[in-house]
Amino acid sequence: MSLTYTGAERELVEELDEQVRTAVRRDGVDPQRDIVLVRSIARQVVADHDQRSLTGVVLPVTEPEAMVEELVSRVSGFGPLQKYLDDPTVEEIWINDPSRVFVARAGRHELTPTILTAAQVSDLVERMLKSSGRRVDVSTPFVDATLPGGHRLHVVLQGISRDFSAVNIRKFVVRAHRLADLVGLGSLSEQAARFLETAVAVGLNVVVSGGTQAGKTTLLNCLAAAVPGRERVISVEEVYELRFSHPECTETLFRCPGRSLCEFRGRWLHDYETSVEVRRVAG
């Protein structure tokens, strides 16, 4: 949850936020991993403040539980964007500029009421990249990373993007696990599903291509689910996107500057290979 505050209320939120952060640092709590502890700290901070408000010295908190969730999202989550990450109807989030934050629901774009500052955008980028172990700087002004929950983050550094860092988050939303699920959703005919399942079973090469939000990763997951259980699978991705269960699967990330994908995959003995987001392949 992310609430909108003005004037004295905003100052109150900032004050409580700093108290929670101070307690987190003091107790050596990892805010990304120990969310339960952070929530406990936030609840105690709000309760202590409420006790002080009885004297009339400070403003009372009108919605204590909402305030606790706001503090948790600020400290452990991704602040103003956390409510969109938690919303199951939101498929994608992007920042065109700090005052224009968009989301996509059911394939339709919506301008949200969320207004950020350039400093908030920079802070969000830093926190999101820290959670993923990736970095963005002058030498690597573009970065793809995976957020907790499997969401895909793409950042373009300020300077390449005018005036601020551009941010795009594509949420991992699973609607189908197998080709039969795509048939049930009306995305694929039964005949096409049988053909693709047979093609995978006999080891034919299959290329999945399409525009953004066309369903490439979903289809690839469904195709991967059709791989016979006796075979060994190697997945090669730029960021982890595939979600399929297989008794013998090695999931890898391709992060080898100066080496080709062909050279990388040639080091592994395997029956099936699944590669995601192949932009260039050098033999």
CB atoms within 10 A of CB 106: 7
Domains by residue range for the chain, with CATH = 7-77 (no CATH), 82-170 (3.30.450.370), 179-275 (3.40.50.300)
Which residue has 């062909």 as its token pair?
A: 262
Distance CA 216, CA 214 (A): 6
Token duo for residue 213: 């939000």
| Ordered per-residue pLDDT tens for the chain, 283 residues | 444 555 677 788 889 989 999 999 899 988 877 888 999 999 999 999 999 998 888 888 888 998 998 898 888 878 888 889 888 899 899 998 899 999 998 878 999 999 988 888 888 888 888 766 677 766 777 888 888 777 888 888 877 877 788 899 988 777 788 899 999 989 899 999 999 999 998 888 888 888 777 788 888 889 988 888 888 888 887 777 777 777 777 777 766 555 555 554 555 555 555 655 545 444 4
DSSP of 102-163 = EEEETTEEEE-S----HHHHHHHHHHHHHHHT----SS--EEEEE-TTS-EEEEE-BTTBSS
